[in-house]
Structure 1
């Protein structure tokens, strides 16, 4: 049986320049919650009134805070020293995290892009300095 106005059986969404269907499918299939969540925290962190300090370089601020699935929280300094901080909980992490931000393929990529991989050890920007404010 033939019709005068055949309709396509599959409707393909319009593609934008540079749109890769495989990458789009991967993004749509990716779960909203990853196994490891990461944020940066520029202010000092105090636990029971005691300011956290890196045992390797003595830093007291500018942390990368990592939370894994069991709810363990790790702190990482700019010198790349990382440790489990048992006094911090997932609830503490949730209070520190803001917008979800950019997704990274690995923890190493986050450390590299935020300067917590050791390349910026000992380098601390003034508290009032926001990224992108330099003219």
Structure 2
């Protein structure tokens, strides 16, 4: 390889499209392992499986769940009292129906649990579906 060819290959930059930020691509590629492929959503209402309403075995709660879908498409339910279990009757399709579009991105599952109040700080608390419920005159 001649010096001219070597110089030319060093100055060739990869093509980028408008809005493509190489730094953001690098950050996405280096995200912590626990954030890749783990999805969560909150579900304020009751969850019914084969006609039976899901109930927390630890505190008896019947609504207000954190629903977690892991890399293997296994679904876990977490109660505000911190009790969490695998729910084999729920599938990725069920999760997607509960999750809908959009959402907040968190750096880890622990951050989701903490920031949404499923870390035990709100144990025994049911938050209203509509924040201004009862505030209308």
Bin the TM-score by the shorter chain: 0.7 to 0.9
* Higher RCO structure (Cα 8 Å, ≥6 apart): 2
Give the corresponding residue for 1:50: 52
Task: Return the TM-score normalized by structure 1.
Answer: 0.73
- Counterparts in 2 of 1:26 and 1:103: CA distance versus 1, 3 Å: farther
Is residue 75 from structure 1 mapped to residue 77 from structure 2 by the alignment? yes
Q: CA deviation at 1:98?
A: 1.9
- Counterparts in 2 of 1:69 and 1:25: CA distance versus 1, 3 Å: closer
Between the aligned partners of 2:80 and 2:26, the Cα distance in structure 1 is 32
- Counterparts in 2 of 1:92 and 1:124: CA distance versus 1, 3 Å: same
> How big is each residue's C-alpha offset from its partner over 1:87-123, in whole Å with a ceiling of 9 and x where there is no partner?
0011111111122311111111000110001110001
Q: How does 1:1-135 map to 2 (within 5 A)?
A: 22=23, 24-27=24-27, 29=29, 34-129=36-131
Q: CA deviation at 1:34?
A: 3.0
Give the corresponding residue for 1:15: none
Unaligned ranges ≥5, structure 1: 1-8, 11-20
Q: CA deviation at 1:36?
A: 0.5
Q: CA deviation at 1:30?
A: 6.7
Unaligned ranges ≥5, structure 2: 1-11, 14-21
Between the aligned partners of 1:119 and 1:28, the Cα distance in structure 2 is 31
Superposed structure 1 runs of 4+ greater than 6 Å apart: none
Between the aligned partners of 1:72 and 1:25, the Cα distance in structure 2 is 28
The structure where helix makes up a greater share of residues is: 2
Aligned residues between the structures: 115
Aligned residues: CA RMSD: 2.9
Between the aligned partners of 1:29 and 1:106, the Cα distance in structure 2 is 15
